[in-house]
């Protein structure tokens, strides 16, 4: 398929880029190594060797841990042993009803819709913002909210059985109050491509008739200006925000800002920013950060007033935002934009390419294809003009990004004047053989992508790869069948999940075109998956401190975070159209998992009644249930599994040997915990 795609891309660009593509070269896919076995340089299995089928219980265990982080229960194991993969669709429905499934899907969608990996610097760059002065903790909460918002939106679409194409076309997003404020602010303070304020769009400024933003030094606590007064247009202190501390001389006299620059100041002030002076508490409560609900973004009707970003009381519990800025699907969220900041040179090409990768699993310039730019850039922009060497490379990319340019400037605000900015009024999206569609703006791009035949294939492949940690071929008859079933079910994600999980392409119960070509791998659990697994199984919130909210204390918390960061993650990279989880059990994975388990041993095992694994005495009556719990809950071996007894015996011998070596009851059980926690089935997918 790599070769087919390569040839297709070559045909698309028609050889216009100066000939460096050598059709005689092996297309990379990627690097031409059919990975089979486990080590990345492991040779594929010898030809003619019979397929080694995987037991259905293991396939089920892998699916359950993928969906919920939980180990297979004994009744589930028994059902799988009896009915094989036929039991899986029913089990998937059961697992999807568990609260852990929602959390796992959120992480999966945050990754696959490329809403994660955010930094303050990236957000500032994308939106010309300055989050640096916000109150302590607010920046982190803000970034984590940005990352979570569309993932929650996608989970709602998936679990309610709505067409999954709505992830492209929806105008309803799951938001909390601070994010509702953000969207309303971005609508009220537009910027041009060059980053300058587009004053025509500052409707709130016009309405406020030049009332300045004013920072006022409150010499006493009683002098603080209540927020209600700050946002009350009838108050003499409208748009006045106070600050208490003034360690710097320049802060003592306060500050005044007029015109367009006043609007971002007000936005920052809501989050505690006092423009270089000591930050104040933000106006958002813990409840505001957690009041997630679906909010529909719609354009104002004639004469209708838009949502006002500083009117926080009105935005609390709002189910609708009235904004002129179009928000549609995953690719117009602030998180997506902040992942892929563009500039006047790139001009939304990166936005268009990443949108295509997420929606259809394809890149305009796939990694299988290499084109050399050799005579480009004789003048600025010339390489994209008609007749120049690279124009064909842009034949599909340029029109697509125009659809984004029509709606957004490169600073990711609404574009207000197409003519002024020399943006065509209409553009075309045509890709990968689908009929070209003319349209205008991100709404039309979303519709074209949702109707594209590759959508179902892309998500079938994506889910298959996430479950197997290996490449899945989009022309594998099993993938084709799954994609058809997904389409026929009106793109119900639950149907896709059932079909993928029960298919031999992921159960490895029988050979498929994918396993013939790519082999079968057992994979390590990636960072998120392993940390989520430990969080659930140990009952310690954010156990690896990946969200900055670990329930562990002090040193253990820092160590857990650093060690978790040594584990391979499941992330995306710019231009990479094949999202594959890591699989290799290398040196640092082995060392990292043991160290992480050692760091968690104290939190997991002690003598208290609320300990996850309680060490009280050496009596068999006390020890055996704890060891059985480790075998089932930590290692993931159900009680009916023939290995369960033997594994428990090994752990028991370890505990006893540790006692003989002088360890206390608690220490001996902690050491036993580390073994169970770091054992291969505990830290892997598919064992």
Partner 1 sequence: MQSRRNLLQNLLFGTGGVGLRALATGLPAAFFTRGARADDAGDRRPQFLILSTSPSGDPINANAPGTYDDARVIHPREPELAATTLHLGETTVRAARVWTRLPERVRNRASFFHHATFTNNHPNLPKVLRLMGATKQQEMLPSAFAKALAPRLGTVQTEPVSIGAGDLLSFAGRSLPPLAPLALRDLLARDDSPLARLTELRARTLDEVHALVRERGTRAERAYLDRLSLSHRQARALGDSVRDLVRTIDGDDTHHQITAAVALVKMKVTPVAAIRISFGGDNHSDQDLSRREAPDHVSGVDHLVRLFALLDEHRLADDVTFASINVFGRTLRREGWKGRDHSANHHVTVMVGAHVRAGVIGGIVPRGDDYSAQDIDARTGRATPGGDVPLAESLSAMGKTLGAALGVPKDAVDAAVMGGREVTAALA
> Residues 35 to 54: which contact partner 1 by CB under 8 A?
35-42, 45, 49, 52-54
Using CB under 8 A, which residues numbered 301 to 360 contact partner 1? 343-345, 350, 353
Q: Which of 208, 218, 590, 628 binds partner 1 (CB under 8 A)?
A: 590
Give whichever of 139 and 394 is closer to partner 1, judged by the CB atom. 394
Name the helix (H) or strand (E) containing 531. helix 527-538
> Can you tell me which of 119, 248, 374, 608 binds partner 1, judged by CB under 8 A?
374
> Rounded distance, CA 366 to CA 578, Å?
9
Q: Which positions from 425 through 464 interact with partner 1, judged by CB under 8 A?
A: none
Contacts to partner 1 from residues 510-539, by CB under 8 A: 519-523
Cβ nearer to partner 1, comparing 490 with 588: 588
Q: Out of 107, 567, 615, 623, which residue is the one contacting partner 1 (CB under 8 A)?
A: 567
Residue 242, C-beta contacts closer than 8 angstroms, at least 6 positions apart: 215, 216, 217, 218, 223, 224, 225, 280
Binding test (CB under 8 A) with partner 1, winner from 537, 584, 627, 630: 584
Instruction: Determine if 249 is a binding residue for partner 1 (CB under 8 A).
Output: no
Q: How far is the CB of 237 from partner 1 (least distance, A)?
A: 38
Check binding of 3 to partner 1 (CB under 8 A): no
Look at residue 113 and give its three-state secondary structure: coil
When asked if residue 571 is in the footprint of partner 1 (CB under 8 A), the reply is yes
* In contact, 213 and 257? CB cutoff 8 Å: yes
Q: Which is nearer to partner 1, 270 or 601 (CB)?
A: 601
Q: Counting contacts by CB under 8 A, is residue 193 touching partner 1?
A: no
Nearer to partner 1 (CB atom), residue 246 or residue 346: 346
- What's the closest the beta carbon of residue 415 comes to partner 1, in angstroms? 20
Residues in the interface with partner 1 (CB under 8 A) total: 102
Tell me the three state secondary structure of residue 523: strand
Least Å distance between CB 264 and partner 1? 19
**Helices in 294-411 by DSSP H: which ranges?**
312-315, 334-339, 349-360, 397-405
- Alpha-carbon distances, residue 333 vs 190, 339, 601 (angstroms): 16, 10, 40
The SS3 assignment for 635 reads coil
Residue 283 DSSP class: S
Which is nearer to partner 1, 18 or 225 (by Cβ)? 18
Does residue 276 come out as left (phi exceeding 0), alpha (psi in the -120 to 50 range) or beta? left
Which of 219, 258, 385, 653 is in the footprint of partner 1 by CB under 8 A? 653
What's the chain's Rg over C-alpha atoms? 28
For the CB of residue 403, give the shortest distance to partner 1 in the complex, in Å: 20
Q: Which residues does 436 contact at the CB level (< 8 Å), separation at least 6?
A: 428, 429, 430
Please say whether the beta carbons of 260 and 199 come within 8 A: yes
Residues 10-29 interacting with partner 1 (rule: CB under 8 A)? 20-22, 25-28
**Residue of 174, 538, 563, 600 interacting with partner 1 (CB under 8 A):** 563
Q: Which one, of 74, 84, 149, 550, lies nearest residue 337 by Cα?
A: 149
- φ, ψ of residue 268 to 5 degrees: the values are -60, -35
| Contact flag: residue 367 with partner 1 (CB under 8 A) | yes
Query: Is 161 near partner 1 (CB under 8 A)?
Result: no
Pick 484 or 562: Cβ nearer partner 1? 562
Which residues between 602 and 621 bind partner 1 (CB under 8 A)?
A: none
Minimum gap (Å) between residue 635 Cβ and partner 1: 8
Do residues 173 and 119 lie in contact, with contact meaning Cβ atoms separated by under 8 Å? no
Give the one residue of 309, 336, 455, 589 binding partner 1; rule: CB under 8 A: 589
Burial class (CB in 10 A: 0-12, 13-18, 19+), 549: exposed
640 in contact with partner 1 (CB under 8 A): no
How far is residue 521's CA from residue 254's CA, in Å, rounded to a whole number?
63
- Is residue 545 within the footprint of partner 1 (CB under 8 A)? no
Q: Give, as ranges, the residues between 619 and 638 that touch partner 1 (CB under 8 A).
A: 635
The secondary structure of 290-317 as a DSSP string is T--EEEEEEPPPTTPPPPPTT-HHHHTT
Could you tell me which residues come within 8 angstroms of residue 237 by beta carbon, excluding any fewer than 6 positions away?
Answer: 216, 225, 229, 230
| Residue from 47, 222, 304, 378 in contact with partner 1 (CB under 8 A) | 378
Q: At CB < 8 A and 24+ separation, what contacts does 78-82 make?
A: 78/640, 80/56, 81/56, 81/57
Residue 667 binds partner 1, judged by CB under 8 A: yes
Q: Compute the least distance from the CB of residue 188 to partner 1, in Å.
A: 25
Q: What are the φ and ψ backbone dihedral angles of 492, each rounded to 5 degrees?
A: -75, 115
Q: Pick the binder of partner 1 from 314, 436, 591, 620 (CB under 8 A).
A: 591
* Comparison of 146 and 521: residue with beta carbon closer to partner 1: 521
Question: Which CB atom, from 454 or from 670, has the smaller least distance to partner 1?
Answer: 670
Helices of type H across 84-162: 88-96, 99-112, 120-127, 138-159
245 contacts: CB under 8 Å, gap ≥ 6: 251, 277, 278
Rule CB under 8 A: choose which of 248, 565, 617, 625 binds partner 1: 565
Residue 675 makes contact with partner 1 by CB under 8 A: yes
Q: Which is nearer to partner 1, 457 or 522 (CB)?
A: 522
């Amino acid at each position: 398929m790599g070769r087919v795609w390569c040839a297709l891309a070559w045909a698309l660009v028609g050889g216009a880029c100066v000939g460096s593509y050598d059709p005689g070269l092996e297309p990379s896919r990627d690097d031409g190594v059919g990975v089979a076995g486990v080590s990345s340089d492991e040779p594929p299995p010898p030809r003619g060797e019979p397929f080694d089928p995987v037991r259905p219980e293991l396939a089920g265990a892998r699916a359950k841990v993928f969906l919920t982080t939980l180990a297979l229960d004994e009744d589930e194991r028994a059902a799988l042993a009896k009915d094989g993969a036929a039991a899986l669709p029913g089990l998937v429905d059961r697992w999807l009803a568990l609260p852990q499934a929602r959390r796992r899907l959120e992480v999966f969608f945050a990754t696959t819709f490329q809403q994660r990996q955010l930094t303050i610097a990236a957000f500032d760059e994308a939106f010309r913002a300055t989050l640096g002065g916000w109150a302590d903790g607010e920046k982190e909460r803000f970034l984590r909210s940005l990352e979570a918002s569309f993932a929650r939106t996608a989970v709602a679409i998936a679990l309610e059985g709505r067409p999954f194409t709505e992830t492209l076309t929806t105008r309803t997003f799951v938001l909390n109050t601070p994010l509702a404020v953000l969207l309303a602010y971005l609508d009220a303070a537009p910027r041009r491509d060059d980053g300058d304020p587009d004053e025509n769009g500052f409707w709130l400024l016009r309405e406020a008739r030049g009332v300045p933003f004013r920072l006022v030094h409150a010499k006493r606590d009683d002098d603080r200006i209540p927020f209600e007064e700050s946002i009350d247009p009838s108050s003499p202190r409208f748009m006045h925000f106070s600050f208490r501390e003034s360690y710097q001389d320049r802060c003592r006299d306060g500050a005044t800002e007029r015109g367009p620059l006043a609007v971002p100041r007000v936005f920052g002030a809501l989050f505690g920013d006092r423009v270089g002076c000591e930050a104040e508490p933000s106006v958002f409560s813990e409840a505001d950060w957690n009041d997630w609900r679906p909010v529909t973004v719609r354009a104002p009707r004639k004469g209708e007033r838009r949502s006002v970003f500083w009117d926080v009381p009105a935005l609390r519990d709002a189910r609708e935002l009235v904004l002129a800025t179009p928000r549609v699907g995953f690719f117009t969220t602030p998180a997506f934009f902040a992942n892929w900041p563009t500039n006047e040179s790139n001009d939304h090409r990166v936005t268009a390419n990443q949108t295509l990768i997420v929606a259809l699993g394809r890149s305009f310039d796939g990694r299988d294809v290499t084109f050399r730019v050799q005579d480009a850039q004789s003048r600025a922009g010339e390489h994209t003009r008609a007749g120049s060497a690279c124009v064909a490379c842009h034949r599909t990319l340029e029109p697509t990004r125009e659809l984004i340019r029509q709606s957004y400037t490169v600073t990711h605000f609404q574009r207000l004047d197409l003519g002024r900015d020399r943006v065509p009024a209409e553009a075309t999206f045509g890709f990968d053989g689908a009929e070209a569609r003319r349209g205008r703006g991100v709404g039309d791009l979303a519709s074209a992508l949702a109707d594209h035949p590759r959508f179902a294939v892309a998500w079938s492949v994506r889910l298959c790869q996430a479950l197997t940690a290996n490449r899945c071929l989009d022309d594998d008859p099993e993938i084709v069948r799954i994609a058809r079933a997904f389409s026929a079910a009106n793109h119900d994600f639950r149907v896709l999940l059932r079909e993928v999980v029960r298919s031999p392409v992921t159960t490895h119960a029988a050979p498929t075109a994918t396993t013939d070509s790519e082999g079968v791998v057992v994979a390590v659990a990636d960072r998120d998956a392993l940390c989520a697994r430990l969080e659930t199984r140990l009952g310690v919130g954010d156990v690896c401190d990946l969200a900055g909210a670990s329930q562990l204390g002090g040193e253990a918390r820092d160590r857990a975070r650093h060690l978790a960061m040594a584990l391979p993650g499941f992330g995306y990279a710019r231009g990479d159209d094949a999202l594959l989880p890591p699989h290799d059990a290398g040196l640092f994975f082995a060392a990292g998992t043991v160290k992480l388990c050692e760091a968690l041993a104290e939190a997991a095992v002690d003598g208290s009644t609320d300990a996850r694994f309680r060490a009280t005495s050496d009596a068999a009556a006390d020890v055996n249930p704890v060891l059985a719990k480790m075998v089932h809950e930590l290692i993931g071996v159900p009680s009916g599994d023939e290995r369960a007894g033997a594994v428990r015996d090994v752990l028991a011998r370890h505990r006893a040997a540790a006692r003989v070596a002088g360890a206390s009851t608690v220490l001996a059980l902690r050491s036993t915990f580390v073994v169970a926690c770091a054992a291969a089935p505990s830290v892997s997918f598919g064992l």
